[in-house]
């Protein structure tokens, strides 16, 4: 069967042997990943990614009901790709704890998760953020709180003079359940120097996640792609995540984030094509054989493209986010008020010939029908 499929496509021998490895469930090397990135056809990558996706998740395609809260855009850093911080955006904002708690309370049982990520505010410390988490926890005891990128955590922990273990335990005891994947950007110090020179190093990002995993706090991971990086950098990024996952098994999902070029200091860079987005999803699925879920963040690429990504290795569409996320609307996403009802997400998934499943934040199935 495999031979027949591969024979029906005219594939060079080197790619054929990588494809055979993937069909046999074997891990591919960085060199093989780079070769596929450069030379694999879109149809071959789709075939391979779909095979890996089906062997891990079958036809199940996950979504959850969540809200994104962005506490502030006032930032100590000034990443050149960022359209959102007070250095680029025409307005600065700081939500109060009451405003954030009111937002969560107003949504009642419509959501099972709150995702809290913002800028790195110089005046807000770990005790402030632990207080925020505690208030959200009191308001909605059963809700999953996924909060603060490794960059925010590193800053608040250092500012308090604590170790990462101590800082993360304070957040965990306040009610933090998991850590989102933001801030990873690209694990290459030379590129970081150009696109986000002041920000924590790759090593520091990985360390926050490693310590969190060791304390029983799961997390996600991201990559920011489509700026000045090359395929070699993307593979190195995936490889470092794959290595950490082998050690800790703490990553739930990987989320590729496409660089959007409006209103930031890297606006001169043309955005990559949608075909490149699909190739990137597929390569992520193929290479990261030990991270169970690949998530499309639909406010970034749009709903239709997110639906298409389901044929390129993606098995998770990020939530029923309402219109509170500014990170992408300011950076040029087409949808300026992103919102999707559960029915609309389910329709996108069934339209791709797959099975929609509502999940909780750690991928337990909540759907009664499954
Ligand atoms: O870290 C900022 C990225 C991230 C731009 O874990 C940009 O479930 C593209 O991490 N173009 C924050 N990307 C968002 C994030 C996230 C989103 C959805 C789900 C999860 C999860 C995490 O947004 C930042 C940065 O990498 N970003 N500006 C831009 N112009
Ligand atoms: Fe600040 Fe995050 Fe924007 Fe960088 S990407 S400037 S850390 S808000």
pLDDT on residue 45: 97
- Residue ranges in the chain whose pLDDT is less than 70: 1-3, 321-338, 368-370
pLDDT number for residue 128:
96
What pLDDT is recorded for position 209? 98
Nearest CA to ligand 2 atom 2: 119
Please tell me the distance from the alpha carbon of residue 187 to that of residue 244, in angstroms, as a whole number.
13
What integer pLDDT is reported at residue 238 of this predicted model?
98
Helix axes 164-174, 202-214, angle to 10 degrees: 50
Nearest one of 192, 116, 101 to 147, comparing CA atoms: 116
CA–centroid distance, 257 to ligand 1, in Å, is 6
Our measurement of the distance from residue 309's CA atom to the centroid of its chain's CA atoms, rounded to an integer in Å, reads 14
Instruction: Give the pLDDT of residue 115.
Output: 95
User: What CATH topology corresponds to 59-368?
Assistant: TIM Barrel (3.20.20)
316 phi/psi in degrees, rounded to 5: -145, 130
Predicted model pTM: 0.95
Q: Are 226 and 296 in contact (CB under 8 A)?
A: no
Probe residue for ligand 1, chosen from 88, 117, 254, 332 as the CB with the greatest number of ligand atoms within 8 Å: 117
- Report residues whose beta carbon is within 6 angstroms of any ligand 1 atom: 81-84, 117, 149, 180-183, 185, 220, 222, 224, 255, 257, 259-260, 264, 297, 318, 327, 331
Burial class (CB in 10 A: 0-12, 13-18, 19+), 25: exposed
The 3-class secondary structure across the chain, one letter per residue, is CHHHHHHHCCCCHHHHHHHHHHHCCCCCCHHHHHHHHHHCCHHHHHHHHHHHHHHHHCCEEEECCEEEECCECCCCCCCCCCCCCCCCCCCCCECCHHHHHHHHHHHHHHCCEEEECCCCCCCCCHHHHHHHHHHHHHHCCCCEEEECCHHHHHHHHHHCCCCHHHHHHHHHHHCCCEECCCCCCCCCHHHHHHHHCCCCCHHHHHHHHHHHHHCCCCEEEEEEECCCCCHHHHHHHHHHHHHHHHHHCCEEEEEEEECCCCCCCCCCCCCCCHHHHHHHHHHHHHHCCCCCEEEECHHHHCHHHHHHHCCCCCCEECCCCCCCCCCCCCCCCCCCCCCCCHHHHHHHHHHCCCEEEEECCCCCECCCCC
Give the pLDDT of residue 324: 55
Look at residue 331 in the predicted model and tell me its pLDDT. 63
Spatial CA neighbour of 121 closest among 171, 77, 166, 175: 77
pLDDT number for residue 337: 59
CB 254 within 8 A of CB 295: yes
Specify the pLDDT at position 329: 59
Mutation test residue for ligand 2: of 84, 88, 156, 181, the one with most atoms within 8 Å of CB: 84
Q: What's residue 301's pLDDT?
A: 85
> What is the predicted pLDDT for the residue at 75?
96
CA 198 to centroid of ligand 2, rounded, Å: 10
Residue that the structure tokens 């593979």 belong to: 235
Going from N- to C-terminal start, the domains of the chain cover: 2-46, 59-368
């Amino acid at each position: 069967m495999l031979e027949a499929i591969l024979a029906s496509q005219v594939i060079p021998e080197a790619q054929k042997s990588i494809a055979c490895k993937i069909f046999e469930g074997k891990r591919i090397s960085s060199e093989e990943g780079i070769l596929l990135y450069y030379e694999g056809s879109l149809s071959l990558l789709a075939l391979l990614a779909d095979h890996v996706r089906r062997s891990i998740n079958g036809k199940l395609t996950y979504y959850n009901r969540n809200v994104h809260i962005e506490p502030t855009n006032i930032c100590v850093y000034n990443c050149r790709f960022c359209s959102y911080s007070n250095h680029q955006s025409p307005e600065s904002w700081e939500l109060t704890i009451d405003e954030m708690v009111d937002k969560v309370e107003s949504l009642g049982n419509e959501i099972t998760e709150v995702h809290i990520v913002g800028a790195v505010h110089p005046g807000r410390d770990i005790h402030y953020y632990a207080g925020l988490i505690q208030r959200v926890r009191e308001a909605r005891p059963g809700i999953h709180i996924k909060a603060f990128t490794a960059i925010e955590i590193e800053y608040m922990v250092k500012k308090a003079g604590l170790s990462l273990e101590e800082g993360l335990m304070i957040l965990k005891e306040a009610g933090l359940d998991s850590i989102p994947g933001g801030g990873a950007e690209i694990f290459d110090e030379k590129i970081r120097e150009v696109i986000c020179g002041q920000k924590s190093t790759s090593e520091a990002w990985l360390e926050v996640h490693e310590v969190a995993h060791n304390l029983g706090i799961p997390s996600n991971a991201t990559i920011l792609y489509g700026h000045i990086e090359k395929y070699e950098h993307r593979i190195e990024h995936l490889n470092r995540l794959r290595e950490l996952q082998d050690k800790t098994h703490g990553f739930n999902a990987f989320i590729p984030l496409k660089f959007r070029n409006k209103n930031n200091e890297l606006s001169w860079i043309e955005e990559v094509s949608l075909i490149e987005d699909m190739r990137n999803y597929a390569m992520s699925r193929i290479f990261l054989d030990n991270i169970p879920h690949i998530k499309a963040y639909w406010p970034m690429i749009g709903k239709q493209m997110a639906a298409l990504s389901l044929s390129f290795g993606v098995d998770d569409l990020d939530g029923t986010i309402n219109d509170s996320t500014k990170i992408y609307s300011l950076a040029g996403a087409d949808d300026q008020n992103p919102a999707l009802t559960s029915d609309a997400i389910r329709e996108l998934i069934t339209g791709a010939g797959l099975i929609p499943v509502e999940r909780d934040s750690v991928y337990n199935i909540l759907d009664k029908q499954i």
